[in-house]
Structure 1
């Protein structure tokens, strides 16, 4: 390789051509005029031309570039246009019939070309790219290489600084450009390590024509109606060259690393997608990460070099921060880990390890029985959050050893004790070791021949031919460097023994890793079960995908689930839900679990009552009377009768029946955009098209929906809009009177829950209740979602309107998840139903439900949850409201306490709902450890209704992550 040529090419600044000169050339040679906009490039000069004939790209490069190289690029564009579906720019012919002009600019030779412009947007400035986009880059790269496999041209045999074949030479030459000694040493060490790994692979790597610049700069995208990115085309074929095929993917993956938020595993969807489109050889997969590391080093060095010789090149200067980030991420993990991860992503594995013939590590304990302690997510040892106690795992193991003599943890188990609440990062829960509690001074022997050395952190390490074993809690009197035969005495136990197997002497493996890296780390740190003679591997758990498939095969699909690919949730604690890999998700959805998940009082009360009796309310027991009395104390004066049911739907259905029985009428007035439940009656008065797309066309003739009193986006807006909305009620009442139909009642949430907790206009319910009662109807307050103290500043939603309903319905948090609902009303209304027969709910009012209902009220009082809803809820709303000034997408914040709604709009004047953005936001929040879902007829509102134990810390985490995602862009 001609190093002088390479060095010369790597040291060229971009040509200097003014806009005036460029416009003159365009007019003279292409007959075009218009306005120019400079486009970034490191060593070329590019302008976008907006003309009457459309948009074009004027590309100007130095005359040092051989014409045959530029001709190769044009030939490649033509070839792709004819042989692939990938959209690429066409080359525009000049007036003289040529597609390439050689001109002079201030005495310097330049080459000039004009290409078609592909509309779209590069993704360089986006901090976060979703998995689909990352996979899209990989798929495109694979398809491009597949299309170019048969393309050839003399101009492809070129000396190019970006060609991975020259990376090591270029790095060595450019290293002096880095003045910081530590940075220079880091780059040098990374490059040397990559070169060592690549050397034995080079002769096996396929060679062909590749684009070598399929990056976030050179692929353009556009969003569709759902705000998903759609590929538009590929630009900039300036690096077209014949070299190792895998180089193309390495360039693409390296570019993705500055969108990785520090996680190099972000490239795996791209690798998988490339391999699916264009299968890679095993050796190419092994070479991929070393090539990415080398590319990262070249990017940093070339960027620093370019800025030093061309300080006015803003493009190069701005790119430096991206290039240093790429290098930081590329060197943040061992090469071996990324090789294992890449192989695993496409279904390959590292070569198998021969574990036959290990000598026992603990020879005196062979055949002895160990107590294997479950430290996983579902472990019966964990309850009431005790896993948060420091050292809980070791204490459980020590207690088991004291009772049974020998105890051990399980390799490959996701440890619940390592979960982290209110964290956007995956917790390192996966155990890559086994911990054993055995008698002190138990002899330890070498399981295979190797060399003993100190590993730091109090560990000793035996390095064998295939593996090393790292041991903590072992005392040895042998000096470091001692060679041991298999079975030879190594030392003795001096404390809890931790055992970890690893491939490679210098691999610094953690004891725990995050779940997404577990398959790769498992390949590098296999189970030590064979050398322990102990079946200590954790049983594999069903993953979320498998459970979802089983659900779909038996559970009627109209019963929807959150998210397309939901994690498997089997445990909860307070205001967090925990998946089977030990990740805690902040629960911003669960207004059912008002006390939070896993509350010990609920478990104790339920267990106690189940051990005594559970039956139905037709039997005589104290709990049903006690609970009914407690509920009446919470109700307004004059309400003196309680019905106990098992759900909010049943409560609202019963309320409608009571209205029918008491009034003698059948007609019910409900409110548009409302949701009241799933039973026939409750569904009949529900009008939310988000819950039922056919809601407006399928109402029975006894239901009369009135205009939704939405003060933010309704027909009438603002706090003085009550009279305008009341007119809709008056209209329907007038029609009923005209037809001599008796009104039965009016049902409405006193705070507009389905729209995110919007307060009704002041005075609305006062006026409507008066009109309804004047025509003999009853007023039903649906408090299922907004009542029971959740709103913070009042216990019942109707208090916000200064009214007292005739019937109150409630459920949700009443039982903290136990099926429990209630209807409270006056005696005369309750007894009107007796003329139609008695009412009975099989589970409503059972002893277990009543005891749990009373315990919920006790805990709410003892733990001051109503006060928490006021204080923390007030802080919550203030923080959300601060986002309005920062993010145009945030239109309004509704509600109070722990029932809040964040409404997202594309335009604050038209209030165009940001439906697609809201869906993307919820998906991104889930990636960051938060469960959140949209609501409202336009599904553009975050309905925020967490357990009432939610803390200020959790609130701040939620708002910080919301701010982060909105800043990233949707």
Structure 2
């Protein structure tokens, strides 16, 4: 009877009732008219009804289903009304007062119901779901199970094809009827393994009423003001049944695999969130993954059957793609691995291995000292990118063995050599083995009794009922298949020997990704006990705990990137590397112009530190040499240099110079600009992104002029120069009318804070003329945009064809060394001396000067200015192509390696896409890219990477950016 019912129900097609007869049913039974839209379903017919009385869902199912089953669904909806965390539809009554109607349409007996419609959208169409959304699904499932835990109804005792208690019978039936089935052998294998894992525990699994379809189709969401997804409600109770509680979560997790981008570990946040609100029992944790696999099998088989019943259904065709994707992800990893991962994600673990029963694997080396080689991210053996050399780890082990006799790697130490630059995939950096270097003729003995095998990858493996050990580099003396006693000689090793211990019969990798390390560690623990060697890596500092320490002692007004940032301790060229060996493309660091970890910088700094580092009042060559180098880069009219430590100091000093030279105090600055944090530099800064009170807290000597933003400013386009100049004229006239002498005008010659927007043509020529005519000096703030970053010009002011009176610079001057400068004319510099001496304790120190000169040398030798021009040009062209492809992209600003990508919601109003930009930056970090928003609306990607950035890195960035833009931010 059970199988007969399953076969019958699995074979039911969707009712054939078109929109016209459906509208007739609505009018006849509910006195309702409106527009219908098919919502799609596998076996039920669902229409959305848009009427003048609101929105509803008309649900039509075949009369084969008993009325009591549908009545159970209605009772559950009433039971759930008002339950915390769960919103469900309400059942509407027909004209006759009934909630459930049974009617005949064109010879078909169907059940008819009308429910109110919950506004929102399902997330089925999204390829990627963030961690919070995944957790939301799991949390909702847990809350629903809690709410239904005490719900009972006769209609719950039903035979349902989706009930995992019947999965085995249904799978065998469908396999027997489906010919030319893709992946038949794999389907049969996975179904058998899942059944074997579930059956022994089935009687111990808690049972209750469950929804059985809390999936991306049936949970509706809506974005909040920050563009974060929030759950609106749960729909479609058609699979409501009394079965194993854990079945509900298995259905939810299986659906989420469609959004996992190939990674089954993506479902773990959902499991964690469920467990947090509704703790799972040990047996449930054990069967969860097998049930997910069984669900995937049932989905593809049912989909294949339905398509053959209704081959023209677009809904079925689309769903089939998703369901096959679910199946492929679910079958991509061993059962044992996911079972361990699920245990670990809720704080569980597998029983420890009793290590005291092992015989020594290498008895002749017991008590001998091994040199343990550091192959991690902070290893002193790695410098100047040498970890990119093929075989570097093995060479370091070999060198150590030559020096010390015996050498070994550390189990579980993230390997720097396995990092992958310009990759969205997590690298496999975690070693699940130990590599040794031992003398020729070293005897290898069995640490436990077992059976010997030779693996396809060349490993010699020994297997017991509970454990296996895999050995590479052993010349065996026994035949495969031989029964081996504990302590029996297996063979000899000499040179390289690799040892891996495993508690199951799976074939583990030698390395795994950090996200899978906890699960693989449970299956492949350290072989230290076999070796008698303390070779495990030191525990890694918890990044969150370290961040908490920072927040507890480091003033929190000094912000950090990202809410949950990775810990970065090494960089190389245009990449930053976290402690787990993942490389991130650095697209926001305009300080390290030469890139990170440059060997010339390290050598120059070390050499000068070993000689002398002091203040600029002492006499040493470096300060004269560096000042001359800077003047050679400046306009010929400039002949004096001040050396400081930062852009803030440079701009502060420039303002003081303007005051001293002009005799005035009043300064013109540009709205939405940032110049630093000192009292004077902050006073002329008006960026509300950096200081929300900027516009209301300016001192009376600061006169902000309209920001000459030709894209979204008050006046737009290349011909807006006269309009923006009028703002300057107005402020100058106001100052003159008050008989206040003008000190000067400070402005970035390229609008850096807005992402590198070029000023309108001739703007600075006219403004500089007006300012000078009123006795003021003109300051070009080149801290961000200058020093060759823009490719076509060394200085930003060159684009405007002007020469300022004062140039300020910093950022890339020292490639990370605190270094800034002010360049001006002699008479301006000497005006300051009349007010007193200028002194900066470490400004112009020998170390800073040597580093500053080395930066210029490397920029010339490595042709970084040319690279900014050529690769930067390619970069801008690729970004500009996104404007046509993605509605969110409004414009591309800047040039070279100072670019801005402005994101907007509306191309007419230019409404800033602030929240979308934040989400995009967070998603790019997940894909291996560091990027942050800028601008007063924080809707611009300010792209200012190291000037060593390659075309390959640029293409990776734009490809990932395009991918994220397609994910519907």
Aligned length: 969
| Other-structure match for 1:534 | 533
Local SS of the residue matching 2:942: strand
| Other-structure match for 1:40 | 40
| Other-structure match for 2:58 | 58
Query: What's the CA shift for 1:200?
Result: 1.6
Q: Deviations over 1:887-929 (max 9, x none)?
A: 0100000000000000000001100000000000000000000
Query: What's the CA shift for 1:168?
Result: 1.0
1:873 equivalent to 2:866? Answer no
**CA distance in 1 between partners of 2:273 and 2:179 (Å):** 39
8 Å Cα contact 1:307-1:313 kept in structure 2: yes
Query: What's the CA shift for 1:356?
Result: 1.3
Q: Deviations over 1:243-292 (max 9, x none)?
A: 00000000000000010000000100000000001010011011000000
| Other-structure match for 2:623 | 624
| Other-structure match for 1:401 | 401
| Other-structure match for 1:739 | 738
Matches within 5 A, 1:252-271: 252-271=252-271
**CA distance in 1 between partners of 2:883 and 2:172 (Å):** 51
8 Å Cα contact 2:466-2:503 kept in structure 1: yes
Matches within 5 A, 1:885-964: 885-964=884-963
Query: What's the CA shift for 1:312?
Result: 3.0
8 Å Cα contact 2:777-2:805 kept in structure 1: yes
**CA distance in 2 between partners of 1:425 and 1:85 (Å):** 35
**CA distance in 2 between partners of 1:14 and 1:498 (Å):** 58
**CA distance in 2 between partners of 1:891 and 1:178 (Å):** 51
| Other-structure match for 1:701 | 700
Query: What's the CA shift for 1:495?
Result: 3.9
| Other-structure match for 1:492 | 492
8 Å Cα contact 1:42-1:313 kept in structure 2: no
Local SS of the residue matching 1:380: coil
| Other-structure match for 2:788 | 789
| Other-structure match for 1:392 | 392
| Other-structure match for 1:25 | 25
Matches within 5 A, 1:549-564: 549-564=548-563
Structure 1 pair 785/178, CA: closer, same or farther in 2 (3 Å)? farther
Q: Deviations over 1:275-313 (max 9, x none)?
A: 001010011011000000000000000001001001232
8 Å Cα contact 2:814-2:852 kept in structure 1: yes
**CA distance in 2 between partners of 1:584 and 1:541 (Å):** 18
Matches within 5 A, 1:302-381: 302-381=302-381
**CA distance in 2 between partners of 1:777 and 1:183 (Å):** 79
Compute the TM-score of the two structures, normalised by the length of structure 2.
0.99
Query: What's the CA shift for 1:108?
Result: 1.5
Local SS of the residue matching 1:356: helix
Local SS of the residue matching 1:435: strand
1:687 equivalent to 2:686? Answer yes
Q: Deviations over 1:301-358 (max 9, x none)?
A: 0001001001232211110000000000000001110011101111011122211121
8 Å Cα contact 2:437-2:494 kept in structure 1: no
| Other-structure match for 1:753 | 752
* CA-based RMSD: 0.8
Query: What's the CA shift for 1:797?
Result: 0.1
Local SS of the residue matching 1:456: coil
| Other-structure match for 2:420 | 420
**CA distance in 1 between partners of 2:513 and 2:841 (Å):** 46
**CA distance in 1 between partners of 2:922 and 2:441 (Å):** 53
8 Å Cα contact 2:85-2:140 kept in structure 1: no
| Other-structure match for 1:3 | 3
Local SS of the residue matching 1:789: coil
| Other-structure match for 2:768 | 769
**CA distance in 1 between partners of 2:734 and 2:182 (Å):** 84
Local SS of the residue matching 2:745: strand
Local SS of the residue matching 1:885: helix
**CA distance in 1 between partners of 2:182 and 2:31 (Å):** 54
Local SS of the residue matching 2:966: helix
Q: Which moved more, 1:581-590 or 1:475-484?
A: 475-484
Local SS of the residue matching 1:439: strand
Matches within 5 A, 1:165-564: 165-176=165-176, 178-180=178-180, 183-505=183-505, 507-564=506-563
| Other-structure match for 1:595 | 594
Query: What's the CA shift for 1:547?
Result: 1.3
Local SS of the residue matching 1:440: strand
Matches within 5 A, 1:549-698: 549-698=548-697
Compute the TM-score of the two structures, normalised by the length of structure 1.
0.99
**CA distance in 2 between partners of 1:388 and 1:25 (Å):** 70
**CA distance in 1 between partners of 2:454 and 2:699 (Å):** 80
Q: Deviations over 1:582-630 (max 9, x none)?
A: 0000000111000000000000000000000000000000000000000
5+ residue gaps, structure 1, are none
Local SS of the residue matching 1:232: strand
Query: What's the CA shift for 1:457?
Result: 1.0
Query: What's the CA shift for 1:179?
Result: 3.9
Local SS of the residue matching 2:937: coil
| Other-structure match for 1:828 | 827
Query: What's the CA shift for 1:964?
Result: 0.2
Query: What's the CA shift for 1:465?
Result: 2.8
**CA distance in 2 between partners of 1:724 and 1:860 (Å):** 39
Superposed structure 1 runs of 4+ greater than 6 Å apart: none
| Other-structure match for 1:91 | 91
Query: What's the CA shift for 1:538?
Result: 0.2
Query: What's the CA shift for 1:854?
Result: 0.2
8 Å Cα contact 1:543-1:568 kept in structure 2: no
Q: Which moved more, 1:534-543 or 1:380-389?
A: 534-543
**CA distance in 2 between partners of 1:180 and 1:612 (Å):** 79
Q: Deviations over 1:739-789 (max 9, x none)?
A: 000000000000000000000000000000000000110000000000000
Query: What's the CA shift for 1:474?
Result: 0.4
**CA distance in 2 between partners of 1:163 and 1:593 (Å):** 59
